[in-house]
Chains A and B, each alone.
Chain A
Amino acid sequence: MSAERYHRQEILKDFGPIAQQKLSDAKVLVIGAGGLGIPVLTYLNAMGVGNLGIVEHDTVSESNLHRQVIYNEADIGRQKNDAILERLKAQNSNTNLIGYNTFLFKENALKFISDYDLVVDASDNFPTRYLVNDACVILNKPFVYGALHGFEGQVSVFNHKGGPTYRCLFPNMPKADEVPNCNEHGVLGILPGIIGNLQALEAIKVLTDIGEVLSGKLLIFSALEQSYQKIKFKLVDQNTKIKTLAESYEFSCDATINSIEAVGLVPLLSDTNIELIDVRTSEEFSHKNLSLAKHIPLSELEQRHTEIDLNKPVYLVCESGVRSRKALLLLQEWYPNKTFVNVEGGMRKLNTYVNLY
């Protein structure tokens, strides 16, 4: 590589060729190639991080384009991993890029993360975030956290040099119906760009030992006020003592929920004697769906629940198993004598067993 490539950052007094070499030697795993992961990957790749892994199993959909700016219209329907690897390779041919075309699960998390120095959590759901935390604690890897809600974002660096972890801030995963996600709640296109870039900045600082890493501090960004709040928090010792992953990272719930693992639904997919209700949005449903499924979005369930054939066993599915759980709780209220079954892990998990495209 020409000496020119990183010249402008190598002449920075506090960065220099030593920091550049550290980037070149570094191995960073990015969980998610969506709104947050794209700016993270784009800048780490441009700045010369030598080894980048990408965990992503989603495909590009039209509703991604307003914020996932590396994808273009022709990518709709393509695996995100394929599209982004192509772009990153064209951007910097020196980077050793590895795409893991799967979501992060309890079964693969430790194996993937153990090969890297630093993890960037650019995921979009609580189960993955808690899984990333626990796996990083077990393997003693630092990770850069970023997350969004509406017009706000949070950034921090967890498990860095004995510093606090995600569980020191939020000890336990919220219940399924507590906090909505981007698909339901919406997100301003530029917001993940800002938060993801802040994550990339923290990643660079961790890797090169420059500046003050955002460890033990939660940064909260409010886009509408253009304001930043920094909240200090301390290590809770017991949170570093995790030795094994939890039994399950699916949402927990007080109410009794009948559920089936996604794999258990596979043999039933050709069974016309079951009623499978997909409660995702119309946009998500049109992107990919199971031919057996009847589509009733969660937001319309109250008006349309009478369309469900209660004479058959009723299964409920959504993207990750969260909204279907909400739907189940509602239906149980309306039909207390009928049993409903939630498909755990939803379409994401199903997608690892059957080709939905």
Chain B
Amino acid sequence: MELLLFGIAKDIVGESNIDLSDQSSVPQSVAELKLFLSAEYPDFQKLTSLAIAVNSEYAGDEVLLKSGDEIAIIPPVSGG
């Protein structure tokens, strides 16, 4: 399971991708993934507006995750 990080999410983690495969408890859903990120990187707690895509498709909190999924974390950006 690979996470691709964009915008402020990339800045928070300090890398543009992380591999979750070797985690002891891999998040089972998008909702769990958000909790995982907030626990691992506390700065995620303040991001109230975060789009998540699983295999290039927008995914709500209820969407289940499986190994091999490519997950994109997409915060809104405002610059112009």
Instruction: Give residues in A with beta carbon < 8 Å to B.
Output: 32, 34-37, 122-126, 129, 146-150, 152-154, 169-175, 177-182, 185, 187, 192, 218, 220, 222, 225, 229-234
Of B51, B57, B72, B80, which contacts A170 at CB under 8 A?
B51
Of A146, A173, A175, A185, which contacts B80 at CB under 8 A?
A146
Bound Cα distance from A172 to B54, whole angstroms: 21
Flag if B80 contacts A35 (CB, 8 Å): yes
Q: B68: CB under 8 A from chain A?
A: no
Q: B7: CB under 8 A from chain A?
A: yes
Of B49, B74, B76, B79, which contacts A231 at CB under 8 A?
B74
Flag if A170 contacts B76 (CB, 8 Å): yes
Encode B63-79 as 1/0 by CB contact (under 8 A) with A.
00000000010111111
Interface size of B by CB at 8 A reads: 24
A and B contact pairs by CB, cutoff 8 A, 22 listed = A35-B80, A36-B80, A124-B79, A124-B80, A126-B78, A152-B6, A154-B77, A169-B58, A170-B76, A178-B8, A178-B47, A178-B49, A178-B75, A179-B7, A179-B76, A180-B8, A181-B78, A182-B79, A187-B79, A220-B6, A222-B16, A229-B56
The answer to whether A233 and B58 touch (CB under 8 A), given A34-B80, A122-B80, A170-B76, is yes
Tell me the B20-76 residues at the A interface (CB within 8 Å).
Answer: 46-49, 51, 53, 56-58, 72, 74-76
Bound Cα distance from A148 to B49, whole angstroms: 16
From A225, which residue of chain B is reached at the shortest CB distance? Answer: B16
The answer to whether A170 and B56 touch (CB under 8 A), given A32-B80, A185-B79, A220-B6, is no
Flag if B56 contacts A37 (CB, 8 Å): no
Flag if A172 contacts B49 (CB, 8 Å): yes
Q: Which residues of A contact B8 (CB under 8 A)?
A: 149, 178-180
- What is the minimal beta-carbon distance from B63 to any residue of chain A, in angstroms? 13
Flag if A123 contacts B80 (CB, 8 Å): yes
Bound Cα distance from A177 to B53, whole angstroms: 24
Q: Which residues of B contact A152 (CB under 8 A)?
A: 6-7, 10, 77
- What is the minimal beta-carbon distance from A17 to any residue of chain B, in angstroms? 34
Q: B19: CB under 8 A from chain A?
A: no
